[in-house]
Structure 1
Amino acid sequence: MPLHIAYGDPLALRARCEVASVRTTRPEETGYEPGAVVPGGQWRPMTDTDVKTVTAPRRPLDSTLVEIVRPPYRDGLPLEDLTRSLGDPDAVYLGQALAKPDVVTTTDNYTVGRLLGLHIDNWDKLSYADKHTGRRRICLNLGPGARYVILGAIDAQTVCRAIHPDDHTQRYPHTDDFRAYVASGRPIRIIRIRLAPGEGYVAPTEYLLHDGSTEGQDQPSAAAFWLGRWTRGVLPSLV
């Protein structure tokens, strides 16, 4: 299933979203892992066609849906407790990450000291057949600056099937599948969504290509993350 975003007002969605393509990093871009996938070309405004493309079906799977939300955070609330009332007693607080201002993507592979680029998560270690059933991530922008989440419009199962046509059912979809997909010349459309401090998202980061970004921002941005199983609409939508 491709990228689906829950929204009620298409104008509100368009106001905070932009669209671009991707590319593979060049050898001289040593800050990234070899072959990493990054945004390529100019970001452009979202069109009506783009909105239709990301519109969810009438009964979407909650596990594959993206929501743009305002998490219930207030000063003094322990971050570990933020999701306690949201319906998943087994939700996990993953911690915080601080992004410098004006970086295209934010996630480091600390073991090698390089940026991952756009990637998929693997907390749940799901096989091809089950990849769409993973937990979703809640992200809260703690500020002080604004930030983006970048999401790929094509899902991990589709990419795994394209790269491994003969044995995809035996595979565990991986970021390397997306890298091979882009390196072979096949396009991926990406959407970036602007998040002010106090705003956030719920997204299937095990299933969709993604990363954070502070490109064009002059302040750093800290973000907090949780992983769990939440039904659609459990947090108030911003769009």
Structure 2
Amino acid sequence: MNKITFAAWGLGIALLGGGIALAAEAPDYLHWPKPTGANAKYAAIDGHRLHTYVEEQARIAEHYRDAGHPQFWGRISGTSGDAEAAQWLEKKFAAAGLSDTRIQTVNYLAPQWAPKSWSVSLTDGSSNVPLTSAQPSYASPDTGAKEIDLEIVSVGTGGEDEFANKDVRGKAVLLLKTSLSRQIGPQDVLKRIEAHGAAAILSTDLRGGNFTAQSYKA
């Protein structure tokens, strides 16, 4: 029997949204011909130069990670990573010749949610596999710093027929997402899982690589 262990954050209708690490081969990138005619003016756009912006933004996220946020990190709204990203953009605007540039501070309508730490692992009784790319969905309640062991049951894409002859009450369900969205699953599927009494959801879209994304309940 496979079991899933959650620690440091709580269980509920939408406990977890994250990816499961899978091996993936290096992608074979597409190559597009340069635009001609009326679109020839866009031929000067340099993808390699634009990619340096991606790298600079990634370094901003890493600065926040290395400042004491090893799990929940990035250019997250309301953090120093967010402020550094805004300063980066303001400088780019100025370098492009824009003169009326400024950073405007706004107040949040509600407190910003941020998990402190968490862990998820899968065990079959003889071995234990940490799911390092798993991440709690936004606003998940914590577990009171307790470890919770749950049997895990696959429910496919979450259709009603997937629950036939399956007892998920008090257990964790493995849900396969059918789209690459930031939601852990469609609203009707989440309500169905809750109605069947599941204690937690482990959601994955099976994209390759050790990919981590912040998911939301709806």
TM-score by length of 1: 0.24
Q: Highest CA radius of gyration, 1 or 2?
A: 2
Q: Which structure's residues are more often helix, by fraction?
A: 2
Q: Which structure's residues are more often strand, by fraction?
A: 1
